Amino acid sequence: MSDTLSLVEALLSRPSLTPNDAGCLDLIGTRLAAAGFTLERIDSGPDNFRVSNLWAIKQGRSADGAVLVFAGHTDVVPTGALTAWSSDPFVPTHRNGQLYGRGAADMKTSVAAMVVAAEEFVAAHPDHQGSVAFLLTSDEEGPALDGTVVVCHKLRERGQRLDYCIVGEPTSVDVLGDMIKNGRRGSLTAKLTVKGIQGHVAYPHLARNPVHQGAAALAELAATTWDEGNSYFPPTTWQISNVHAGTGVGNVIPGEMVVDFNFRFSTESTPDSLKQRVTALLDKHGLEYELSWILGGEPFLTPVGTLSEALSGAIQAETGKTPVLSTTGGTSDGRFIAKICKQVVEFGPRNATIHKIDEHVEVAAIEPLKNVYRRTLETLIS
């Protein structure tokens, strides 16, 4: 068994449901300390939702050398019904060349590969010029209020320079190395409450139906082109996720309609511009309404440059694949790191089974993933 596979299995054996780290960072920290890293725990959050965060850095010989950060999370989503799994989700299990377990793809394999890649790199290059660091959290799959964002705030306060960051999100689609994420769309969610007047359906002149009034506005919102996107991002999208109105009986006009909707937006739009356009449209339709917003994350983008080229070269050398750059998918902690680091990309194993029953990774891809991370270190900071 390779050192990387052994570490993956050790991490998979820990039921680290958000925000419980289940000892993953202690295990990782022990290894990184032995490799010469300086460790700092930056745990955060209330006692009933305590988040584990680790910042670790191995300084290079040059104060001006580049700083490359590996970022990731040790927490996993709930398993769902245990009876639906083919094997215990917290007992690493091999079947037909695949390694099964919750977090195998998202993202304990990447974290293990990053750790072993760093160990091998500093052993082979003890006098490396640049610095290598880790930013790991147990609150990425949850509310993400006390994880990476807290560490980034502390790093900004102390003036820690970050030049490159690789987030170990599972980005590969069909085979390892076919896709790198060099950005992510922003997420903006809203709850719209359209006010009406409840009444009897037989006396509509004595009531005001918020569904009737709001329908035209919702149709226009759905038909609106918010932007055209750009060479890196698809156009911004608007989607309704929930609609609720009525009392559950057939003879009552509802007094209000509640609509949840979400924008996934490109760098061509801003949260403020989207809010203003929605408000103007609702006002145009003469609605009486309340509107509350939650900004889940702003978009970030790393144009083609030193980091993406080094990572692409490492992928090509290790796998023979030429990766494409993409900004598709949901949000990640890259949105926080991008505020203090100019070049942030994501790369990891196939994402076909993330959050699913019987989540797994291909065993044969684990060592190449580790080698890609190590090759990137060798290119950028040796």
Q: Is 140 a catalytic residue?
A: yes
Assigned architecture for domain 186-297: 2-Layer Sandwich (3.30)
DSSP per-residue string spanning 246-284:
S-SSSSEE-SEEEEEEEEEE-TTS-HHHHHHHHHHHHHH
Which CATH number, 3.30.9.30, 3.40.630.10, 3.30.200.20, 3.30.420.10, labels domain 3-184+300-380? 3.40.630.10
Counts of helices then strands in the chain (DSSP H, E): 9, 19
Strand residue runs (E) in 186-337 = 186-195, 199-200, 237-245, 252-253, 256-265, 289-297, 300-301, 324-326
First to last CA, the chain: 28
Alpha-carbon distance of 316 to 121, in angstroms, equals 19
The DSSP 8-state label assigned to residue 286 in this structure reads T
Q: Is 157 a catalytic residue?
A: no
Q: Where in the chain is CATH 3.30.70.360? A: 186-297
CB 264 within 8 A of CB 237: yes
What φ, ψ does residue 283 adopt, rounded to 5°? -65, -40
Alpha-carbon distance of 256 to 246, in angstroms, equals 8
Q: Where in the chain is CATH 3.40.630.10? A: 3-184+300-380
Q: How far is CA 207 from CA 49, 113, 256, 304, in A?
A: 46, 63, 11, 58
272 labeled binding residue: no
Helix (H, G, I), strand (E, B), or coil: what is residue 160? coil
227 labeled binding residue: no
169 labeled binding residue: yes
DSSP per-residue string spanning 72-101:
EE--B-----GGGSSS-TTS-EEETTEEES
Alpha-carbon distance of 221 to 338, in angstroms, equals 30
CB 9 within 8 A of CB 109: no
73 labeled binding residue: yes
From the list 21, 75, 139, 318, the catalytic residue is 75
From the list 119, 140, 333, 346, the catalytic residue is 140
pLDDT values of the chain reduced to their tens digit, one per residue, 382 residues: 899 999 999 999 999 999 999 999 999 999 999 999 999 999 999 999 999 999 999 999 999 999 999 999 999 999 999 999 999 999 999 999 999 999 999 999 999 999 999 999 999 999 999 999 999 999 999 999 999 999 999 999 999 999 999 999 999 999 999 999 999 999 999 999 999 999 999 999 999 999 999 999 999 999 999 999 999 999 999 999 999 999 999 999 999 999 999 999 999 999 999 999 999 999 999 999 999 999 998 999 999 999 999 999 999 999 999 999 999 888 899 999 999 999 999 999 999 999 999 999 999 999 999 999 999 999 999 9
